[in-house]
């Protein structure tokens, strides 16, 4: 629910902090005191379009912050996880800031994001009913969900069965559309694959071959330099005065004294080992001279092979391994294309079977929805009669989306209303009167309150055009809804305000040469005086205060 609302520099409100609790909360005050400003602030947090006109005169910016407790609300928490918004403690803070230069800043738990991005979350948190735009039941795409929620116990299994057939149908359809081509396209694809396979296979490519060729080319193109280096090294080792001959003489000298001490014997052994190792190295250098010959034909052959490998890499992959991987996938695809005609026919038959099966499942779902809609509309009509709309009629118009299977069934639903005798049923979105619209929403909310999952409901000026017994009924309905939802209501009627669990008084006054709006929570002793004022009683009228206190007591003891 909405637990805290902070408003800064919005119209007449310099700074306001409201602590809100569960149950039924009302806002009352003189016309023009600023009650609608509070609703504007809430709508701003919910993602409505912000106007610079909301910024207090002389200020550079305004800010509204809403703090929501979403503990245990898995729909909201799942959406936040999808958006990668941290909400470990179950507290969600949404803030909107508008600047005089037209810039808007939105944060969700400290993360800056576009205003449009918060709507999937705020649509799950609050419904505002009345003269503002955040009215989910006016959006026809939500009407089907209302009906499903009303009779979830019976509709859910049928919807799940329909969705299961749809999922299987979608898999078969995707296989047909993604894995099969027209006959002409298939033949063209086969020709391309055969050419690619032949080109790669004919090259007899091996992983690491390019590196090996480049190494050999480096040796061949530097053969003269290599030959000179090897010859010089060999001469230094085995030529006149070379290292091998010098070491041989040293070995012979040490041999003559090796029997005189252990140290001489050890040095003789080491020098002898070095001599044989150095002599072996010298002969290896000599042998390498014979392999370092310049061979232009071999160079041409290797360079031609590199060109072939480069061409294959340019077409099919960055490395030999990627080219060979492309070959493997091409061979696999060719095998599928040359042997898939029988499979395609089988899938076409399966698709037709599943489409027929879906129609049956979706038909049962539609029938259940129509029965639920009929019961919902009947109950809503009863509520509307008690709310003063004696001639109101409601209905639901079902249309088929199209012939193709869809997730959630094939139904499109528009809830309809006739507010007066002799008027035809028409879409809820066509209802013009704010008061009628609010009562319609209240009637629907009363009927589906057990199924409705939006935790906070706000009714702005719901009492427009009603009075007396109807007003008392509206208050009772709101109190009933508040047993399962947080309800906030802006009202001018004492009969409605009497049912409140919490009561805030909105007023405006001059301060420092300007007009400001303030909000004050009313205690038990103060509430009768405010209700008396709403009744139009003269200030200090004891009889009006007594009557107001009786009204509050009666509302407190009213049966829900």
DSSP bridge pairs for 415 = 396
Averaged pLDDT for residues 506-535: 89
Any domain includes 263 = yes
Averaged pLDDT for residues 201-228: 85
pLDDT tens column, 518-529: 899 999 999 999
**Distance between alpha carbon 139 and the CA centroid of its chain, in Å?**
21
Question: Which of 511, 551, 555 minimizes the C-alpha distance to 528?
Answer: 551
Average pLDDT over the chain reads: 86
Averaged pLDDT for residues 318-322: 90
Would you say residue 464 has pLDDT above 70?
no
User: Do 486 and 18 form a contact (C-beta atoms < 8 A)?
Assistant: no
Any domain includes 232 = yes
Instruction: Indicate the number of domains in the chain.
Output: 1
Task: Give the CA angle between residues 302, 308, 312 to the nearest 5°.
Answer: 145
Give percent above pLDDT 70 in the chain.
92
Backbone angles phi, psi at 59, to 5 degrees: -100, 155
Any domain includes 191 = no
Any domain includes 553 = no
pLDDT tens column, 395-417: 999 999 888 999 999 999 998 98
Give percent above pLDDT 90 in the chain.
34
Question: Which of 304, 323, 328, 325 minimizes the C-alpha distance to 313?
Answer: 323
Strand arrangement of the beta sheet that strand 91-99 belongs to: 13-19, 2-10, 61-69, 91-99, 104-108, 111-112
Averaged pLDDT for residues 231-247: 82
Any domain includes 152 = no
Averaged pLDDT for residues 20-36: 89
Would you say residue 14 has pLDDT above 50?
yes
pLDDT at 432: 47
pLDDT tens column, 95-128: 999 998 888 899 999 999 998 889 889 988 998 8
pLDDT at 291: 63
pLDDT tens column, 146-199: 898 788 889 999 999 999 999 999 988 887 776 666 678 778 888 999 999 999
Averaged pLDDT for residues 464-476: 77
Would you say residue 531 has pLDDT above 90?
yes
Any domain includes 303 = yes
Asked whether the whole model's pTM tops 0.75, one would answer no
What are the DSSP calls for 204-215, one per residue? Answer: T--TTHHHHHHH
Q: Where are the beta strands (DSSP E) in 100-194?
A: 104-108, 111-112, 126-129
pLDDT at 397: 93
Averaged pLDDT for residues 200-219: 88
Question: Which of 438, 464, 460 minimizes the C-alpha distance to 42?
Answer: 460
pLDDT at 107: 93
208's tokens: 């690491």
Would you say residue 281 has pLDDT above 50?
yes
Would you say residue 439 has pLDDT above 80?
no
412 Cβ neighbours under 8 A, 6+ residues apart: 140, 144, 398, 399, 400, 401
Secondary structure class of 228 (helix, strand, coil)? helix
Residue spans of alpha helices (H) in 180-295: 183-203, 209-220, 223-238, 243-255, 262-289
Any domain includes 251 = yes
CA dihedral 454, 460, 464, 466 (to 10 degrees): 50
Regarding predicted confidence, which is higher, 231 or 164? Answer: 164
Report CA-CA distances (Å) from 181 to 22, 333, 512.
60, 12, 78
Question: Which of 463, 452, 453 minimizes the C-alpha distance to 76?
Answer: 453
pLDDT at 472: 85
Q: What residue numbers bound the domain in which 232 lies?
A: 208-318
Confidence at 133, pLDDT banded by 50, 70, 90: very low
Q: Give the span between the Cα atoms of 414 and 315, in whole angstroms.
A: 55
Averaged pLDDT for residues 331-352: 80
Which pairing describes strands 2-10 and 13-19: parallel, antiparallel, or unpaired?
A: antiparallel
Averaged pLDDT for residues 41-65: 88
Any domain includes 328 = no
Q: What sign does the dihedral 317-321-327-328 (CA atoms) show?
A: negative
């Amino acid at each position: 629910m909405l637990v805290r609302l902070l408003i800064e520099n919005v119209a007449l409100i310099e700074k306001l902090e409201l602590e809100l609790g569960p149950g039924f909360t009302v806002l009352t005050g003189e016309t023009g005191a600023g009650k609608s400003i509070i609703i504007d602030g809430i709508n701003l947090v919910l993602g409505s379009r912000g106007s610079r006109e909301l910024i207090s005169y002389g200020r550079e910016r305004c800010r509204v912050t809403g703090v929501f407790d979403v503990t245990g609300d898995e729909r909201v928490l799942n959406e936040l996880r999808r958006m990668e918004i941290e909400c470990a403690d179950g507290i969600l803070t949404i803030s909107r800031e508008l600047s005089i230069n037209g810039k808007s800043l939105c944060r969700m738990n400290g993360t800056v994001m576009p205003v449009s991005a918060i709507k999937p979350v705020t649509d799950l948190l609050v419904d505002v009913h009345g003269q503002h735009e955040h009215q989910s039941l006016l959006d026809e795409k939500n009407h089907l969900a209302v009906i499903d929620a009303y009779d979830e116990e019976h509709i859910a299994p049928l919807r799940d069965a329909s969705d299961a057939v749809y999922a299987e149908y979608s898999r078969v359809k995707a296989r047909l559309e993604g894995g099969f081509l027209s006959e002409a396209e298939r033949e063209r694809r086969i020709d391309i694959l055969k050419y690619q396979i032949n080109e790669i296979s004919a090259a007899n490519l091996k992983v690491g071959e390019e590196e090996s060729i480049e190494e050999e080319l480096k040796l061949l193109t530097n053969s003269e330099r290599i030959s000179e280096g090897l010859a010089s090294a060999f001469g230094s080792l085995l030529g006149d005065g070379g290292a091998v001959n010098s070491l041989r003489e040293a070995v012979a000298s040490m041999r003559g004294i090796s029997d005189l001490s252990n140290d001489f014997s050890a040095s003789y052994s080491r020098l002898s080992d070095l001599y044989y190792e150095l002599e072996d190295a010298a002969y290896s250098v000599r042998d390498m001279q014979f392999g370092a010959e310049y061979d232009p034909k071999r160079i041409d052959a290797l360079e031609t092979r590199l060109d072939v490998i480069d061409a294959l890499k340019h077409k099919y992959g960055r490395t030999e391994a990627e080219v060979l991987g492309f070959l493997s996938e091409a061979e696999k695809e060719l095998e599928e294309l040359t042997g898939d005609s029988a499979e395609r026919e089988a899938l076409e038959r399966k698709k037709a079977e599943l489409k027929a099966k879906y129609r049956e499942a979706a038909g049962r779902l539609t029938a259940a929805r129509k029965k639920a809609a009929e019961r919902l509309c009947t109950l809503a009509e009863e509520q509307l009669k008690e709310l003063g709309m004696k001639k109101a009629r409601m209905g639901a118009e079902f249309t088929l989306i199209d012939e193709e299977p869809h997730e959630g069934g094939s139904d499109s639903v528009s809830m309809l209303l006739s507010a007066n005798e002799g008027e035809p049923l028409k879409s809820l979105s066509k209802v013009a009167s704010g008061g009628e619209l609010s009562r319609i929403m209240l009637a629907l909310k009363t009927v589906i309150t057990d199924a409705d999952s939006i935790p906070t409901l706000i009714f702005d000026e719901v009492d427009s055009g009603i009075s007396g017994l109807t007003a008392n009924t509206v208050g009772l309905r709101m109190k009933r809804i508040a047993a399962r939802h947080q309800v906030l209501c802006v009202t001018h009627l004492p009969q409605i305000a009497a049912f409140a669990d919490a009561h805030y008084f909105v007023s405006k006054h001059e301060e420092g040469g300007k007009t400001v709006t303030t909000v004050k929570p009313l205690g038990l002793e103060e509430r009768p005086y405010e209700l008396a004022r709403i009744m139009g009683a003269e200030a200090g009228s004891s009889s009006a205060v007594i009557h107001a206190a009786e009204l509050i007591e009666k509302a407190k003891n009213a049966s829900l």
